Structure 1
Amino acid sequence: MGVLFEECAARRVRTRVHLDRPFDIASESATSYTVPELAALVRRAAGWFAAAGAGPSDRVAVVKPNHWDYDVLACAAVRIGAVPAQLSAQLPRQWLLTLLRRLSPALLVTTRQVWEELGAADALEAAPVTLLLDGRAPDADGRAPGVLGLDDVADAPAPPPYRRHDDEPLVVNHTSGTTGVPKLVAHSTRTLVGKLARFETVRYPRIGVRRDDTLVNASSYAHGRTFCWTASALCLDPAEIAIVTGQDPDLADPVLRAHPPTVMEALPASYVRFEPLTRRLDNPFRRVRLFISTYDAVHPPTVRAYLRASARRSPLWMQGWGQTETGPLTFRFHTRRSAADDAVAGGSRDVGRPVPGKTRLRVVDPDTFRPLPRGQAGLVLARTAALAAGYVGESDRWAAKQLGAWWNTGDLGLRRGDGTVELLDREVDRTPLLSCLRAEDLLEDRLPQIAECVLLNPPGRPPLPVVVTQDGVLDRAAWDLAVRDLPPLGEPVALTWDEVPRTGTGKVRRTALLRQLTGSARTAGSGRWT
């Protein structure tokens, strides 16, 4: 990964990368790059980090606003032998400080605003040296020791590339954090590049990237999925790559129109936010042949809207289910026909079959861990050679989720007779009354006026429904009709999108939302495997 851009440039990869805004680096004002230009930026950044004191085996924490330069900077850290740790600046301040203390990085790479929000004293405690990407260092008056600006290191030469063993740590990414402080997951070159990214560099029929493709990615670039995507996408030499950093549809629309995607990958939350664009007369998704979603469930109405928006004869929606610790575990493909039937056929709960030759799944009793027959719900365990090396600073927590060669996903589900997997809930969110995912699917299908439905499970009470609408108002008559055949639910709470606490990937922080609405974060599940 440290020489990825250089090797692609040497192979004459012609891809041009377009950004919706410049990188968060003071020296960079461009919004379009060739691969050789990106390779030069990686080399310059490697020189900055080396001049700031980072070297082989050191951890370099990168905390900044959401942008693809997370991966550019991570490659620079890898180039000098350091281990980049990509932390979303959207995490709560105390969570960030907790993660930084677990990491003990030699260098913190951030922006002036994030550094000020962390607090100078706490940032200094977390890392001995801080490099501000977008500004000068504060005056040397003793208030901010160890803080460098980009101008302090701008002319430093890059050391030669450092090659690490395939099983040494390569990168650290955090989990989403829907139920509390995220875990820090360490992947190696063998697991992330050898087992995950390499799988994506095959030009499979229909789903493989072609040289005439325009790839658009609208993601959270602090997460492991995009680091893996960066490793594979460039190697396939698509015509264009366009990067979308935010979820405002009006800001994303000009980029999507300037570079209409043929392959679109986005966060589930981004698909929800961009959905109004599908209804415009000249919608920007008309050329898409493949939509890709990961991270979280995408409910059937959203899938249908995008497949209808494509002018292709038979566009595909590829849904992947997996975790930061494992990479993708299953895939499912949706067509217009299957999406039309999805409310009956399984909706977002049907996550498809295990990746052939890559992963194995088994369902066990949550109390005894004995295997259960197909069709019976239980705890889902996974077995994959792509399993990460562990949690940084939480080895006991990692050990508690391993059962020999099997990994405890913490998800409840079942295997159907045809081998497909149906997810029901996270164990921490389970309730004996119903499946939250199943109910959310039904309600979003029955109430097209809502953007999202979330069921929370406070102990000893009926599930608490939270519906997200544009104006925070719910049509109560329509709601009563929609829930007529469901088990008893609590009084619905209507909120706007911005009133719901979210992770960097747009997932609902369920524990925080539960505390916000009830005053307690306790759930009906045990939470033993979060």
Structure 2
Amino acid sequence: MLLQRIGNRGIQLGRMFERAARRHGANVLILDHDLDVAPEFGRRATVAEVADLVADLSSRLHAAGVRSGGRVVVHKSDGFDITLLACAAARMGAVPVLLSPSLDGATVTELVRRTDRPTLVTDRAKLAGLPDSVFGLAERVLLTSGSHRDAVPLDKFAGCERVPSVTLPPHRPALVTHTSGTTGTPKLAVHTGFSLQSRYRPQASVLAPLVRGRETIAIHVSFVHSRLVTALALALYRGFPLVVLRDPDPGRVGDLFARLRPGILEAHPNSFMEWEELADDPRGPLANVKLFSSTFDAIHPRTVHRLLRATRRRSPVFGQLYGQSEVGPAVVRGFTRRRTLDDDGRCVGMPFPGMTDVRVVSRNGLPPSEQNPGHIEVRSDGRIVTYLGEQDRYEAQVSADGWWRMGDVGYRTRWGCVHLLDREVDLIDGFGSTLAAEDALFGRLVGLAEVIIVPGPDGRAVPVVCTKDDRPLDPVAWRRAVSTLPPMADPVQWRLSELPQTATIKIKRLELARLLAAGAGTDVPESDRSQKEATP
């Protein structure tokens, strides 16, 4: 019944907290950080209080000159107030455009240009990294903290008259987010209320049979990603107590989870990899987790194996959703404790019946298979409606009958399961699946924090290895682990913090390959090798 009501009008981003407050106003939201827009707000609030803050911010934006239909670019230091500002802009009919705090100044300036004279909401720290030309590209610049002679602080409009919320047509642009940028300058993806609701439906259909009672849900998802909207909607509309994380540090997360005992975790695959060490925490911070949920990318079997064995709940599930910023979740696969380290991590699951569909198209006229992967294409009502300022680029990726090319290659089994083998741009001739090789290495070397296989300058596969605590890699253990894998160059060891990452903590493989070709890397001192030789 709930899905049918929302489906008639799409998700109303601007009224999401307001609507949740009517049914679950006393529900609690907990943060692990303070809000720049309201430092006095604290880290624990009711949903009704958050809805009131969104209304206040919306009214401030209106008093500053923002109007319905206008675009509001939010590019500020990381925090949940990015999401609240997006809701505030949408509440009074504007279209929020969310840009990651990790983007460089030149990229931000180009994306602001594409939005065509928006209001820019930022802070002094981020503004300092932008060229002065950004002021000529924006209608106005508003600051959430700090000061600048050419910008207006949002605090100036505190206490202004409240403006009413508006209901937007379901097919009108409601939110703009950017793509990961793993293959170049990010694209600006335009979502509607209808497309966001179409992403909500399959996720709600998965959650409903798995979680019967009222569970605390903890979310660590990029504040500029559309996934956070649907994750919030799932929690808010069901009245789940909500924990929103900015910091993925396992030590701090362990402290928080040991106290709050979440029953559902939603996070990036790389965050779950970092949290593997929580499985050994004697306080049992993961002991109450009923459902682990991960979108974005396929996740390594080792991570799933360890996390599921850290919970004491009966029949816990690890839900993996494969999708993309442009189409939302496309296929789903659930894992239980019966999963072994030898399970195929490349199997990402099946489409949602009646909601998404997947096909694999040949690249060379031969049937797609494990040895001859094809282009993965998806059809879903959750697909974006355009790339802002790049309509031709959008049309080049979608067929006349609605199939969206994902940029990944793989195949489907006789039972219809989708197997993801690689990004098309990451294929290494004659190597096979780099992702499958990485899965195997994670299962064989427990001390790995990350391994990324990229093409070297000569086209040969080069494994870039990061270890826990930056311990030197044991060459004997490495040779044993790669003995049954396709031939590779010797491993190059980097610190995890040095890997180029996107806003959703994906590794920028093309950028990493470029850095390797330029001679970048982390050398392990010989003195460290002799003193700290360790087997991952």
CA distance in 2 between counterparts of 1:173 and 1:97 reads 15
Provide closer, same or farther for how the CA distance between residues 298 and 202 of structure 1 changes in structure 2, counting only shifts above 3 A: closer
Deviations for 1:322-361, whole angstroms, at most 9, x for unmatched residues?
A: 00110100000011112x1x42x311x1101011111111
| Equivalent residue number for residue 141 of structure 1 | none
Query: Which one of the candidate residues 23, 44, 47 is aligned to 1:32?
Result: 44
**1:66 positional shift:** 2.5
**1:70 positional shift:** 2.0
| Equivalent residue number for residue 6 of structure 2 | none
CA distance in 2 between counterparts of 1:360 and 1:374 reads 20
Q: Say yes or no: does 1:176 pair with 2:173.
A: no
Q: How does 1:433-452 map to 2 (within 5 A)?
A: 433-452=431-450
| Equivalent residue number for residue 466 of structure 1 | 464
CA distance in 2 between counterparts of 1:333 and 1:483 reads 29
CA distance in 2 between counterparts of 1:399 and 1:123 reads 29
Q: Say yes or no: does 1:453 pair with 2:451.
A: yes
Which AA in structure 1 matches 2:359?
R
Instruction: Determine if contact 1:440/1:455 at 8 Å carries over to the other structure.
Output: yes
Q: How does 1:500-519 map to 2 (within 5 A)?
A: 500-519=499-518
Provide closer, same or farther for how the CA distance between residues 204 and 303 of structure 1 changes in structure 2, counting only shifts above 3 A: closer
| Equivalent residue number for residue 249 of structure 2 | 248
The count of aligned residue pairs is: 505
| Equivalent residue number for residue 276 of structure 2 | 275
**1:254 positional shift:** 2.3
Q: Say yes or no: does 1:430 pair with 2:442.
A: no
| Equivalent residue number for residue 385 of structure 1 | 381
Deviations for 1:499-525, whole angstroms, at most 9, x for unmatched residues?
A: 11111111111122111111299xxxx
Q: How does 1:250-269 map to 2 (within 5 A)?
A: 250-269=251-270
Q: How does 1:350-369 map to 2 (within 5 A)?
A: 350-367=347-364
3-state SS of 1:276 partner: helix
Deviations for 1:369-419, whole angstroms, at most 9, x for unmatched residues?
A: x87589952111111122110101111111111122211111100000111
| Equivalent residue number for residue 305 of structure 1 | 306
CA distance in 2 between counterparts of 1:429 and 1:375 reads 16
Instruction: Determine if contact 1:501/1:509 at 8 Å carries over to the other structure.
Output: yes
Instruction: Determine if contact 1:62/1:110 at 8 Å carries over to the other structure.
Output: yes
3-state SS of 2:409 partner: strand
| Equivalent residue number for residue 35 of structure 2 | 23
Which AA in structure 2 matches 1:219?
V
CA distance in 1 between counterparts of 2:371 and 2:162 reads 57
**1:68 positional shift:** 2.3
**1:431 positional shift:** 1.8
CA distance in 2 between counterparts of 1:305 and 1:201 reads 26
| Equivalent residue number for residue 7 of structure 2 | none
CA distance in 1 between counterparts of 2:39 and 2:152 reads 15
CA distance in 2 between counterparts of 1:431 and 1:501 reads 20
Instruction: Determine if contact 1:286/1:310 at 8 Å carries over to the other structure.
Output: yes
**1:158 positional shift:** 3.0
Instruction: Determine if contact 2:258/2:283 at 8 Å carries over to the other structure.
Output: no
Which AA in structure 1 matches 2:419?
E
| Equivalent residue number for residue 59 of structure 1 | 71
**1:461 positional shift:** 2.1
Instruction: Determine if contact 2:30/2:243 at 8 Å carries over to the other structure.
Output: yes
Provide closer, same or farther for how the CA distance between residues 200 and 380 of structure 1 changes in structure 2, counting only shifts above 3 A: closer
Instruction: Determine if contact 2:359/2:377 at 8 Å carries over to the other structure.
Output: yes
| Equivalent residue number for residue 190 of structure 1 | 194
Mean CA deviation greater in 176-185 or 96-105: 96-105
Deviations for 1:26-85, whole angstroms, at most 9, x for unmatched residues?
A: 454410110110111011000111112111111101112332222211111011110001
**1:11 positional shift:** 2.0
CA distance in 2 between counterparts of 1:205 and 1:187 reads 25
CA distance in 2 between counterparts of 1:258 and 1:509 reads 35
**1:280 positional shift:** 1.2
Instruction: Determine if contact 1:26/1:150 at 8 Å carries over to the other structure.
Output: no
Which AA in structure 2 matches 1:196?
R
Which AA in structure 2 matches 1:30?
G
**1:459 positional shift:** 6.4
Q: How does 1:53-132 map to 2 (within 5 A)?
A: 53-119=65-131, 121-132=132-143
Which AA in structure 1 matches 2:268?
L
Which AA in structure 1 matches 2:316?
P
Instruction: Give TM-score scaled by structure 2 length.
Output: 0.90
CA distance in 2 between counterparts of 1:389 and 1:284 reads 41
Deviations for 1:456-495, whole angstroms, at most 9, x for unmatched residues?
A: 0246421111011121621111111111122211121111
Instruction: Determine if contact 1:52/1:107 at 8 Å carries over to the other structure.
Output: no
CA distance in 2 between counterparts of 1:321 and 1:461 reads 29
Deviations for 1:420-445, whole angstroms, at most 9, x for unmatched residues?
A: 01100000001232101110001111
**1:255 positional shift:** 1.8
| Equivalent residue number for residue 167 of structure 2 | 163
**1:197 positional shift:** 1.9
Provide closer, same or farther for how the CA distance between residues 474 and 203 of structure 1 changes in structure 2, counting only shifts above 3 A: closer
Which AA in structure 2 matches 1:408?
R
**1:25 positional shift:** 1.4
Provide closer, same or farther for how the CA distance between residues 211 and 311 of structure 1 changes in structure 2, counting only shifts above 3 A: closer
CA distance in 1 between counterparts of 2:117 and 2:256 reads 36
CA distance in 2 between counterparts of 1:122 and 1:27 reads 30
Instruction: Determine if contact 2:456/2:462 at 8 Å carries over to the other structure.
Output: yes
| Equivalent residue number for residue 157 of structure 2 | 153
CA distance in 1 between counterparts of 2:460 and 2:61 reads 53
Mean CA deviation greater in 172-181 or 82-91: 172-181
Which AA in structure 1 matches 2:285?
P
Instruction: Determine if contact 1:58/1:105 at 8 Å carries over to the other structure.
Output: no
Which AA in structure 2 matches 1:161?
S
| Equivalent residue number for residue 320 of structure 1 | 321
3-state SS of 1:88 partner: coil
CA distance in 2 between counterparts of 1:336 and 1:112 reads 48
Deviations for 1:174-218, whole angstroms, at most 9, x for unmatched residues?
A: 11122221111001011112x12244445855424x552010011
Provide closer, same or farther for how the CA distance between residues 375 and 367 of structure 1 changes in structure 2, counting only shifts above 3 A: closer
| Equivalent residue number for residue 45 of structure 1 | 57
Query: Which one of the candidate residues 203, 215, 233 is aligned to 1:213?
Result: 215
CA distance in 2 between counterparts of 1:495 and 1:92 reads 22
CA distance in 2 between counterparts of 1:436 and 1:374 reads 13
CA distance in 2 between counterparts of 1:393 and 1:443 reads 41
Provide closer, same or farther for how the CA distance between residues 293 and 105 of structure 1 changes in structure 2, counting only shifts above 3 A: farther
CA distance in 2 between counterparts of 1:373 and 1:488 reads 22
CA distance in 2 between counterparts of 1:454 and 1:202 reads 34
Instruction: Determine if contact 1:375/1:417 at 8 Å carries over to the other structure.
Output: no
Which AA in structure 1 matches 2:77?
P
Provide closer, same or farther for how the CA distance between residues 373 and 482 of structure 1 changes in structure 2, counting only shifts above 3 A: closer
Provide closer, same or farther for how the CA distance between residues 481 and 373 of structure 1 changes in structure 2, counting only shifts above 3 A: closer
Q: How does 1:478-489 map to 2 (within 5 A)?
A: 478-489=477-488
**1:287 positional shift:** 0.3
Mean CA deviation greater in 53-62 or 225-234: 225-234
Provide closer, same or farther for how the CA distance between residues 12 and 78 of structure 1 changes in structure 2, counting only shifts above 3 A: same
